[in-house]
Amino acid sequence: MTSANKPIRSARYGMTIDVDRCSGCGACIVACAVENNVPPAHEGATDRKGLTWIRVYKVDNGAEYPDRRTAFVPVMCQHCGNETPCVHVCPQQAVDIDPATGVVGEMPQRCLGCRYCMAACPYHARYFNWWDPAWPAGMEKTLNPGVTPRMRGVVEKCNLCHGRWHAAKEAAAAAGKPDTEPVEYTPACVEACPAGAIHFGDLNDPASVVAKEAAETESFRLLEKLNTQPKIYYRSRNSWVRQIAAAPRPGAGKEKNRG
């Protein structure tokens, strides 16, 4: 219960991703799908029509061997903090920003599937649900009860594991903690990363690891020139990796069916 006398301290949840540590194993992609009940690929799915709330792009410096260098860049919704493009264009108010967390949320119940938000998102971090969600027989028993599967025809995206945030809020309330303070929780991709490349926390808290890492000189954000103020920060010691932040889409190429 909110105290009437104490102002709510807003959080600004964000991440720092150490690109130099990411091995591109895909654990974050798979853990995200398990946590958020994202169905396995439909047989017609491609890397353009797939449903992955977080996607790891393989990028290189464009040079030939022996000067060729490669890196893996996980990209999810960047949770823009300024002039959030997808919020502006949604005709159904299906996208909003939670003032308590700074998380850009998506309400599939309101979504019409017009995909304006996908066109507006400069990070290509939103995905359209082209097919009915389907799991192999029996596997539906393994669905996470904290997250509702979405229907065909709506747009989905990362919400920084809203279900986990909600559970943390409930646990904090049950423990008698005031709900005026941000809660600590860990999104699935952060928990799953075996290399410990992803850190998560409150960017408004100057003592947090993410706030400190975000302020370091080797940190950068994708397409910073757009001034959308993303809350996902990347880090790399390599200047060529930092330069890819200006590219429209890491690893952009023609549609490929890898299945």
Partner 1 sequence: MNTTRRQVLMFAGGSAVGVLFTPAPWRLITDTALWSENWPGIPAPARGEIRTRFTNCPLCTAGCAVRARCVGDQPVELAGVGGHPFSRGALCPFGIVGHHLPYLPGRVKEGPVKEAAAAAADGIAKCRSSEFVATLDLRPGRTASWTYRRAMKAIKNGRYVAPSVDTQVAVDLSKARTVLSFGVPVLDGWGTPGNVNSARAGFRLIQIDPVESRTASMADRWLRVRPGSEDALAEALAGQIPHAAAADASGLTVSEIAALSKELEQNGPVLVLGSSQLESTAGTVVARRETPVPDEWKKAAPATALASLPDRSVRVLLIDESMPGGYLPWNAIARKLVADNPVVVTFACSREGYARHANYALPVGVYPEVAGDIPASIDSVAAAFRIAAPLVSPPHGTVNPEAFIAAAAGLSIGDTLRERADAIHKSGRGTLFTYADRKSQAVKIVTADDFWKALNAGGCWIDEPAAKASAARLTFAAPAQQQVEESELPLAIVVTRELAPGLPLLSKVYQESNLRLAPGRVALNPACGLEDGSPAVFETLLGKCSVGVTLDSGIPPGVVQVSGTPALLDLCGDGARAKVVRA
Interaction with partner 1 in 139-178: which residues (CB under 8 A)?
A: 139-154
Helices (H) and strands (E) in the chain, counts: 7, 10
* CB 39, CB 257: distance < 8 Å: no
- Residue 26 DSSP SS3: coil
Query: How far is residue 36's CA from residue 75's CA, in Å, rounded to a whole number?
Result: 16
Which of 37, 72, 88, 115 is closest to 228 using CA atoms?
88
Nearest distance in Å: CB 180, partner 1:
27
* Nearer to partner 1 (CB atom), residue 10 or residue 144: 144
The helix/strand/coil state of 97 is strand
User: x/- contact string, 94-113, with partner 1 (CB under 8 A)?
Assistant: --------------xxxxx-
Tokens 């309330």 belong to 173
- Binding partner 1 (rule: CB under 8 A), the pick from 40, 99, 178, 248 is 40
Q: How far is the CB of 243 from partner 1 (least distance, A)?
A: 18
Beta bridge partners of 95: 106
From 11, 15, 19, 31, residue interacting with partner 1 (rule: CB under 8 A)? 31
In the bound complex, what is the minimum distance in angstroms from residue 112's beta carbon to partner 1?
6
- Asked whether position 250 contacts partner 1 by CB under 8 A, the answer is no
> Contact letters (x/-) for partner 1, 171-210, by CB under 8 A?
-----------------x--xx-xxx--------------
d(CA 9, CA 100): 8
Nearer to partner 1, 110 or 212 (CB): 110
Closest CA to 35 of 149, 188, 162: 188
Would you say 223 and 245 are in contact if contact means Cβ atoms under 8 Å apart?
Answer: yes
In angstroms, give the least distance from the CB of 31 to partner 1.
Answer: 5
Give the nearer residue to partner 1 in terms of CB position, either 227 or 257.
257
User: Residue 72 or residue 233: which is nearer to partner 1 going by CB?
Assistant: 72
Residue (181 or 216) nearer to partner 1, CB:
216
Angle in degrees, CA 147, 105, 220, rounded to 5? 115
Residues 119-138 that bind partner 1 (CB under 8 A): 132-138
